[in-house]
């Protein structure tokens, strides 16, 4: 493979964003911020794709257009401003030309940008990889993971809040 898969993930320990270029030979991932390391399970990375998430070992990943939404919005705004200016200058053809061009660029960009794999559980993004095993977004699966996360948070709060403060009492 000429260009490998690129992984963007949130560190499970310090929750900062990290990047990695995992291959089949990558034994472990390391967080550059807190130096946390965790093992990459064997045979999960194959031929530029993953069968499960390398960060949280979830098998549920979905395919999404890796389109930078801000860029899309920026293009539309620039197009609108430019066409308004052309309209103001009574340049009818130019006005519609600009509107048409911005719309066309948006469509072309959408077709050109590659798909990315996203993990339902931890939100890790896998770019430049093959998408054989995976399907598009499913609200059902998303909901399952959202509830799982909410439950976990509740459990954590209970475990943390229920513990009495550690004060050594000596008379």
Residues touching Zn ion: how many (CB under 5 A)?
A: 15
Contact pattern for Zn ion over residues 51 through 90, marking x by CB under 5 A: --x-xx-x--------------------------------
| Cβ–Cβ under 8 Å, residues 160 and 92 | no
Piece in contact with Zn ion (CB under 5 A), picked from 90-98, 107-115, 116-124, 129-137:
116-124
- What token pair was written down for 33? 């911020």
Min CB(155)–Zn ion separation in Å: 19
- What token pair was written down for 156? 């954590």
Please tell me the distance from the alpha carbon of residue 55 to that of residue 58, in angstroms, as a whole number. 8
Phi, psi for residue 136 in degrees, rounded to 5: -70, 180
- What token pair was written down for 16? 């900062």
| Cβ–Cβ under 8 Å, residues 117 and 125 | yes
> Out of 45, 83, 121, 126, which residue is the one contacting Zn ion (CB under 5 A)?
121
**Binding to Zn ion (CB under 5 A): which residues in 2-41?**
11, 13-14, 31, 33-34, 36
Binding site for Zn ion (CB under 5 A): 11, 13-14, 31, 33-34, 36, 53, 55-56, 58, 119, 121-122, 124
């Amino acid at each position: 493979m000429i260009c490998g898969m690129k992984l963007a993930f949130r560190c499970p320990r310090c929750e900062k964003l990290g990047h990695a270029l995992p291959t089949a030979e990558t034994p472990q991932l390391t967080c550059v911020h807190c130096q946390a390391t965790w093992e990459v399970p064997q045979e999960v990375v194959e031929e530029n794709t993953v069968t499960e998430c390398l960060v949280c070992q979830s098998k549920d990943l979905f395919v999404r257009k890796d389109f930078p939404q801000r860029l899309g919005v920026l293009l539309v705004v620039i197009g609108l401003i430019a066409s308004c200016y052309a309209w103001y200058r009574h340049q009818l053809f130019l006005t519609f030309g600009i509107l048409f061009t911005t719309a066309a660029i948006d469509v072309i960009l959408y077709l050109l940008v590659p798909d990315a794999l996203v993990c339902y559980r931890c939100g890790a993004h896998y770019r430049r990889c093959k998408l054989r095993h995976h399907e598009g977004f499913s609200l059902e699966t998303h909901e399952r993971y959202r509830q799982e996360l909410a439950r976990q948070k509740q459990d954590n709060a209970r475990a943390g809040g229920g513990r009495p403060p550690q004060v050594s009492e000596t008379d």
